[in-house]
A and B are shown apart, each in its own frame.
Chain A
Amino acid sequence: MRVAGRSAALRRLGVMALPLAILPLLAAADAPTGGNPGTRAFVITNIFFVGGADAGTCSPMSVSALETFRESLSPEEQARYPQPQKRNELSRLMDERLGFRRMLLSGTDAGGRLRIAQFPPDIPRGTQLTPDQALRVAALNGFPKGRGRLAFSNRTIAYSACSNPEDFPQLARGHRLYEGRTAEGMDLDGKRDRSDFVGPAGQTGIDNQLWRAIGCTKAFRDASASAERERTFLSARAPTLIRIEGIDDPRNDPDVTVTISAAADPIVQDGRNQAVEWASYADDADRRLTATTHGRIVDGVLTTDPVDVRLNYKEQILDSPRDLRAARLRLELKPDGKAEGGFYGYYTLDSFYLSIEQMTQDGANASGVSCPGVRQAIDRLADGYRDSRTGKYTAISSALRFYATPAFTTGVAARADAAGQAGGGR
């Protein structure tokens, strides 16, 4: 039986006959026995925004729209809604006062509080609604004209400060920007301007305006903290894969091909809830989730040319792919076979805000996020990909770091299943 995807020559080589340059790479994993010797692959386990935490910044921290709403109440009313004890009651008051709406598209909710939306005759119930159809359903059910978005994994239709942040600018008042000097990231535009940060090691020209926008919001700041980011898998049910091919020398190679793709499989975890090394992953069949570029390895660190990538981000009720324009991948290959690195690029405003909106108003309230505050901040600080028609920027410089575990990739899911056996990357 032939090993699909692996050349006969490579099969004949076997481990003992590998080129000397590969041996250090093998030693990292104590000589794995499979995969193409010139290929390495990883599955990203923990991925998180990075920026900075200069002393004295973020004081006070950003507060949620709910907290801003509470501050707008009279002292007597505020006293009736102590936080966090009466958060649900305050949330209902905000819904009522500001005209927030939420309806189920089908079924019933556990609490029985939500009504089921009526549908226009030409849209059968159970249809996966398009945004335009959602607006028609919303209008039929008394939502403000042209308002309302699908929410909660498309199970509800909602009108709130998260679905329509532009309608509630007063709730942005408690949002704070990160005003520190230092932040992690990369010089994306090759220019020096007042918005640039200084890197932790003194690098200049760091473009990371997204951190400036969200770096004082507790939810993002906590996720970026070292203890949390090392403990928490994100998008574990749809992780991202990195495959490096054409490696002649794992420490220094001037030209390798790098593919970034979405896995069709969840992260394989062991009994300690850690990612299992050398598990096999198939690529998602959605080719929009795959991008290929070139890169170079210098002293064990890979950097790539810019490439547009779409990274899956599926977490609980969130399903909002991250669209990064002109993203550079930087990957440090560790002696133990693992890797650590980052994506540095321009995060499109729409795809970033989708992840905020999908938190839903309740989620934003619980996470200390002001949807209008975030929306205003990213719109104001956006610094990439200007729309020639509107003159506005459509993306914002960002830095996502991650930890990765060695893995095999086995090709696109459907095809790999049919093949049964795949060459894969090591």
Chain B
Amino acid sequence: MKRRPLSMAVAGIAAALAALLPAATGHSEGAAAPDGSVRRLTEAQYRRTIADVFGSDIRVVGRFEPDLRVDGLLAVGTSAISVTPGGFDQYEEIARGIATQVTDADHRERLVGCAPGPQDADGRTCAGRFFDRVGPLLFRRPLSPAERTGYVDVTLTAARTLGGFDAGLAASLAGMLSSPHYLFRMEAPGADGRLDAYARASRLSFFLWNAPPDQALLDAARGGALSSDAGIAAQVDRLMASPRFVDGMRAFFTDFLLLDDMDGLAKDSLIYPQFNSSIGEMLKEQTLRTLTDLLVTHRGDYRNVFTTRRMAMRRELGPIYTIPLAGTDWTMYEFPDGDPRGGLLTHAGLLALHSHPGRTSPTLRGKAVREALMCQKIPAPPANVSFAVVQDVNNPTLKTTRARLQAHLDDDECASCHRKTDPIGLGLENFDGVGRFRLTEHGERIDASGTFDGLAFSDANTLGRLFHDSSKVASCVVRSTWRYAYGRNPVGDDEQAIEAFDAGFARNGYRMVDLMRAIAIANAADPKPRAARRTVALTSGRSPS
């Protein structure tokens, strides 16, 4: 496909964004918040949308611009990032690839379904029907008459230039897929200053399904059902009853536990030969399956995440957990009482993720747990710190990680932070850098005891029990769920709302599904959109013509 027609199709995007998002153009850090909220689709949401609209056989090929983690959540980062010129080029290439497939011989009959003919010589009617169908699904709202006319006109103009209707349609569709109205969830206030119904629909579906609204939700928005709390609740219940709610829950925990970082996790193959990228993917999947089994399938108590002996397993993970496993698919495995395994803190995936390539790191593990599970902030180490002692894993005197860290802690400056992180991490030292259980390190018995918030623990099991009982841990997931749903950090009276959710969470037995339901309803009923501040310049890299 030649570039010129697409350039025509996307010309003016920057100008359009400028009009929609005054604060999103130029370097806007510190600019006043606009009267509208904008969140960039994540890669997963982009892919989900294409699969929903065009089918899972349409390949989405290309490199997405990295997401930004803000205070631990990518979801919050979606409100704080935009698109760089290089990133826009990537989106454009991805869009071209999708549009080409949609209109090719293998797919056009199903996905386009019409063609120019005697009654529709230039294909205007056909193009109009196509955009009537896919436009609302991609923009998550009806197209305005001007938008519809614009995409149809671009189709016909490009068709003449490229010598074919399908090529013209592909160019126009690529423009739509490169549009900010597709790439961003924009919440412009309605005439009454309140959140419009389609924005509410998007809030619900992206939070509960990590996907765009389906036709039923768009219909509910169009019919006014989302203007009442009861109508919103009905849709929330419908979405949560769907198998796709599991996708939403998985997306939250992927973000909350930084599981995206598992993608591409590498280990020293000489030290940990049993670990490879395939095992890494399975360990990530294991954690997600374990969590959704407990929290969705069994509507379980979130606190039991830290104590449950039930863990998703598949045969390939047997050597990591040193357990016999039959079969070729995922199954739920229950460790016996007294086994060192139990609870999220002993998941090999998380233990491996927060370790170095060739050794454990109580500090990384402790920092990750404090930040992700307790919503605490641990400062980065100063640039001039020496890790020589800690990294000397073959130190003949300091045989265990605990001993080496203790030597490091003799420095008071280091000790101030390590006192927060290391006790938790040292409690997980019975698990090596890929999460395999071990009793000794260099022949010396590992001491995994410590204290957590003033309470003593002897090993990962008893540490997990303290996490189960910790109000800070439970409150953190409430706060993170709220921030994930709203895509921003709380301001003003948001704190009171979060406290109320926290109280409700405890009152209702710490059921994650109930928490998500309550937050979904509140978020969709939020009377007014708010925006986070952009931190990255947004421009298409082209001059509007």
| Docked-complex contact A410 and B339, CB < 8 angstroms | no
Q: How many A-B residue pairs have CB under 8 A?
A: 121
On whether the beta carbons of A271 and B273 are closer than 8 Å, the reply is yes
B337 interface residue per 8 A CB criterion: yes
Interchain CB contact under 8 A, A33 and B270: no
A274 contacts chain B at the CB level, 8 A cutoff: yes
**B332 contacts across to A, CB distance below 8 A:** 1
Name which of A3, A409, A421 has the most chain B CB atoms within 10 A of its CB.
A421
Instruction: Tell me, in angstroms, the Cα distance from A415 to B72 when the chains sit together.
Output: 45
Q: Are B337 and A408 neighbours in the complex by a CB distance under 8 Å?
A: no
Chain A residues 7 to 49 lying within 8 A of chain B, measured CB to CB, are 10-17, 27, 29-35
| 9-residue interface stretch from A66-74, A276-284, A363-371 | A276-284
Residues on B with C-beta less than 8 A from A422 are 324-326
| B 414-462 contacts with A by CB, 8 A | 437-440
Given A271-B276, A425-B324, CB of A33 within 8 Å of CB of B315: no
Interface size on B, residues (CB 8 A): 35
Contact of A17 among B324, B327, B338 (CB under 8 A): B338
Q: Report the bound CA distance from A415 to B326 in whole Å.
A: 9
CB distance A411 to B326 under 8 Å?
Answer: yes
Q: Which chain B residues border A277 with CB–CB below 8 Å?
A: 274, 319
A35 touches B340 (CB 8 A): no
Q: How far is the CB of A341 from chain B (nearest CB, A)?
A: 22
B:248-297 near A, CB below 8 Å: 269-270, 273-274, 276
Give the complex CA separation of A271 and B273 in angstroms.
6
| Interface of B (DSSP majority class) | loop
Question: What separation, in Å, do the CA atoms of A33 and B338 have in the docked complex?
Answer: 10
Q: Which residues of A contact B47 (CB under 8 A)?
A: none
> Which residues in B have their C-beta under 8 angstroms from that of A282?
326
In the complex, what's the smallest C-beta–C-beta distance from B229 to chain A, in angstroms? 40
Instruction: Answer yes or no: A270 CB below 8 A from chain B CBs.
Output: yes
A349 and B341 CA atoms in complex are apart in Å by 51
A424 part of interface (Cβ distance < 8 Å): yes
A30 pairs with B439, CB closer than 8 A: yes
Chain B residue with the shortest CB-CB distance to A32: B322
Q: Is the CB of B340 within 8 A of A33?
A: yes
Q: Which of B318, B319, B323, B324 has the most CB of A within 10 A?
A: B324
B324 to A31, Cβ gap below 8 A? no
B45 beta carbon closer than 8 Å to chain A: no
- Say whether A12 contacts B337, CB under 8 Å: yes
Closest-CB distance, A404 to chain B (whole angstroms): 15
Residues of B within 8 A of A272 (CB): 269-270, 273
Query: Would you give the shortest CB distance from B431 to chain A, in whole angstroms?
Result: 10
The total of chain A residues at the interface (CB under 8 A) is 46
Tell me the minimal C-beta distance from B182 to chain A in angstroms.
41
Select one of B319, B333, B338, B437 contacting A276, CB under 8 A.
B319
- Which residues does chain A contribute within 8 Å of B132, judged by CB atoms? none
Report Cα–Cα, A13/B270, bound state, in Å.
Answer: 34
Bound-state CA distance A392–B274 (Å) is 50
Pairwise interchain contact A34-B323, C-beta atoms closer than 8 A: yes
Pairwise interchain contact A29-B322, C-beta atoms closer than 8 A: yes
What are the residues of chain B within 8 A of A12 when measuring CB–CB? 336-338
Min Cβ gap A81→B in Å is 47
Residue B334 at the chain A interface, CB threshold 8 Å: yes
In whole Å, how far is A94's beta carbon from the nearest beta carbon of chain B? Answer: 46
A139 CB–B CB distance under 8 Å: no
Let me know if B334 and A1 touch, CB within 8 A. yes
A419: nearest chain-B partner, CB-CB: B326
Q: Are B325 and A33 in contact (CB under 8 A)?
A: no
Complex Cα distance, B438 from A279, in Å, reads: 17
A17 proximity list for chain B (CB < 8 A): 338
One digit per residue, 1 when the CB lies within 8 angstroms of any chain B CB and 0 when it does not, for chain A 254-284 equals: 0000000000000010111010111110100
Would B273 and A270 count as touching, CB distance under 8 A? yes
A270 CB contacts on chain B under 8 angstroms: 269, 273-274, 276
Chain B residues lying within 8 Å of A271, measured Cβ to Cβ, are 269, 273, 276
Q: How far is the CB of B525 from chain A (nearest CB, A)?
A: 41
Looking at the complex, which one of B274, B334, B339 makes contact with A15 (CB distance below 8 Å)?
A: B339
Partner of B331, one of A33, A411, A421, A423: A421
With contacts A271-B276, A422-B324 taken as known, whether A15 is within 8 angstroms of B338 at the C-beta atoms is yes
| Interchain CB contact (< 8 A) of A274 among B273, B337, B437 | B273
User: Is B310 an interface residue when CB atoms closer than 8 A count as contact?
Assistant: yes
Q: Would you call A31 and B333 a contact (CB within 8 A)?
A: no
Q: Nearest residue in A to B332 (C-beta to C-beta)?
A: A1
When C-beta atoms are compared, the residue in chain A nearest to B276 turns out to be A271
Instruction: Give the residues from 73 to 130 in chain A that come closer than 8 angstroms, CB to CB, to chain B.
Output: none
A60 at the interface (CB under 8 A from B): no
Contact in complex: B439, A31 (CB < 8 Å) = yes
Residues of chain A with a CB closer than 8 A to B315's CB: 280
Which residues of chain A are within 8 angstroms of B386 by Cβ–Cβ distance? none
B327 and A11 form a contact (CB under 8 A): no
The reply to whether the CB of A420 lies closer than 8 angstroms to some CB of chain B is: yes
How far apart are the CA atoms of A422 and B328 in the complex, in Å? 13
Give CA–CA (A135, B316) in the complex, Å. Answer: 45
Does A416 interact with chain B (Cβ within 8 Å)? Answer: yes
Q: Does B321 contact A (CB under 8 A)?
A: yes
Expressed in whole angstroms, the Cα–Cα distance for A309 and B326 within the complex equals: 25
Taken together as a complex, chains A and B put the C-alpha atoms of A279 and B279 apart, in Å, by 13
Min C-beta distance of A348 to chain B, whole Å: 33
Could you tell me if B318 and A14 are in contact, using CB atoms closer than 8 angstroms? no
Residues in A with CB closer than 8 Å to B64 are: none
Asked if A278 and B322 sit within 8 Å, CB to CB, the answer is yes
Given A12-B338, A276-B319, A421-B333, residue A409 in contact with residue B324 (CB < 8 A) = yes
Question: Which residues from chain A contact B316 at a C-beta distance below 8 Å?
Answer: 268
Q: Are B327 and A419 in contact (CB under 8 A)?
A: yes
Query: Taking the complex as formed, is A417 at the interface, i.e. its CB lies under 8 A from any CB of chain B?
Result: yes
- State in angstroms the CA–CA spacing of A270 and B274 once bound together: 5
Are the C-beta atoms of A1 and B323 separated by less than 8 Å? no
Query: Once the chains bind, are B319 and A278 in contact (CB under 8 Å)?
Result: yes
Q: Which residue of A lies closest to B320 (CB)?
A: A278
- Asked whether B325 lies within 8 Å of A421 as measured between CB atoms, the reply is yes
Q: Decide if B323 touches A408 in the complex (CB within 8 Å).
A: yes
A355–B328 Cα distance when bound, in Å, is 32
By a CB distance below 8 angstroms, the chain A residues around B321 are: 33-34
**Residue numbers in B under 8 Å from A34 (CB-CB):** 318, 321-324
A33 with B326: CB separation less than 8 A: no
A278 to B322, CA, bound (A): 6
Q: How far is the CA of A423 from the CA of B336 in the complex (A)?
A: 12
Judge whether A410 and B338 touch: CB under 8 Å: no
Other-chain residue from B273, B326, B327, B339 in contact with A14 (beta carbon distance below 8 A): B339
Least CB distance from B24 to A in Å reads 46
Interface centre among B336, B341, B438 (most CB of A within 10 A): B336
A32 CA / B324 CA spacing, docked (Å): 11
Taking the closest CB of chain B, its distance from the CB of A161, in whole angstroms, is: 44
Say whether B269 contacts A408, CB under 8 Å.
Answer: no
| Minimum distance in angstroms from B528 CB to a CB of chain A | 48
In the assembled complex, the Cα of A416 lies from the Cα of B327 at a distance in Å of 6
| A276, B316: Cα distance in complex, Å | 10
Q: Chain A residues near B310 (CB, 8 Å)?
A: 1
Per-residue interface assignment for chain B, residues 476 to 510, with 1 indicating a CB less than 8 Å from any chain A CB and 0 otherwise: 00000000000000000000000000000000000
Assuming the A-B contacts A271-B273, A272-B269, A420-B331, are A14 and B336 also in contact, with contact meaning beta carbons closer than 8 angstroms in the complex?
yes
What are 26 contact pairs spanning A and B, CB under 8 A?
Answer: A1-B310, A12-B336, A12-B338, A13-B338, A14-B336, A14-B339, A17-B338, A27-B440, A30-B438, A30-B439, A32-B437, A33-B339, A34-B321, A34-B323, A35-B322, A270-B273, A271-B269, A408-B323, A410-B324, A420-B326, A420-B331, A421-B325, A422-B325, A423-B324, A424-B324, A426-B324
In the complex, given contacts A11-B336, A411-B326, what are 19 additional A-B residue pairs having Cβ atoms less than 8 angstroms apart? A1-B310, A1-B333, A10-B336, A12-B336, A15-B338, A17-B338, A30-B438, A33-B321, A33-B323, A33-B335, A33-B340, A34-B323, A270-B269, A270-B274, A277-B274, A279-B319, A282-B326, A417-B328, A420-B329
What 8 pairs across the A-B complex have the smallest Cβ distances? Answer: A424-B324, A14-B338, A34-B323, A408-B324, A416-B326, A32-B322, A270-B273, A410-B326
Residues of A that sit less than 8 Å from B by CB: 1-3, 6, 10-17, 27, 29-35, 268, 270-272, 274, 276-280, 282, 408-411, 416-426
